[in-house]
Amino acid sequence: MNLRTSKKQAAPLGLVLDGLLACVLALAVPSAWGADGDAAVQRALLQAVSQPAPVEVDARAVDTLSFRRDAAVSARVEQETIQALGRNPGQIAELEEVIGSGDMLREFDKILRRYGYDPTNLGDVLAAHLLISWEVVNDRDSRQSPDGQRAVRRQLIGPLAAVPEVAAMSDAAKQAQAERTAYLTMVSALTYQLLKQQGNREALRALSASVRQGLQGNGVDLQRVSLGDGGLVTR
3-class DSSP string for the chain: CCCCCCHHHHHHHHHCHHHHHHHHHHCCHHHHCCHHHHHHHHHHHHHHHCCCCCCCCCHHHHHHHECCCCHHHHHHHHHHHHHHHCCCHHHHHHHHHHCCCCHHHHHHHHHHHHCCCCCCEHHHHHHHHHHHHHHHHHCCCHHHCHHHHHHHHHHHHHHHHCCHHHHCCCHHHHHHHHHHHHHHHHHHHHHHHHHHHHCCHHHHHHHHHHHHHHHHCCCCCHHHEEEECCEEEEC
Q: Quick check: 110 pLDDT over 70?
A: yes
Residue 198 has a pLDDT of: 85
| % residues pLDDT > 70 (the chain) | 84
Residue 141 has a pLDDT of: 92
pLDDT band at 103 (very low <50, low <70, confident <90, very high): confident
The residue that leads in pLDDT, 26 or 189, is 189
Q: Quick check: 4 pLDDT over 80?
A: no
Residue 216 has a pLDDT of: 83
Packed helices 103-114 and 7-15: angle between N→C axes, nearest 10 degrees: 120
Residue 206 has a pLDDT of: 87
Residue 14 has a pLDDT of: 53
Give Cα 67 distance to the centre of its chain: 17
Q: Quick check: 49 pLDDT over 70?
A: yes
Residue 190 has a pLDDT of: 85
- Residue boundaries of the structural domains of the chain: 7-220
Q: What is the mean pLDDT of the chain?
A: 84
Whether residue 115 contacts residue 18, with contact meaning beta carbons closer than 8 Å, is answered with no
Task: Give the separation between CA 61 and CA 53, rounded to whole angstroms.
Answer: 14
Q: What is the pTM of this model?
A: 0.86
Per-residue model confidence as pLDDT tens digits over 5-45: 444 455 555 555 444 444 544 444 333 333 334 677 888 88
Rounded average pLDDT over 214-224: 86
Residue 87 has a pLDDT of: 73
Q: How many residues does the chain have?
A: 235
pLDDT band at 188 (very low <50, low <70, confident <90, very high): confident
pLDDT band at 191 (very low <50, low <70, confident <90, very high): confident
Residue 172 has a pLDDT of: 95
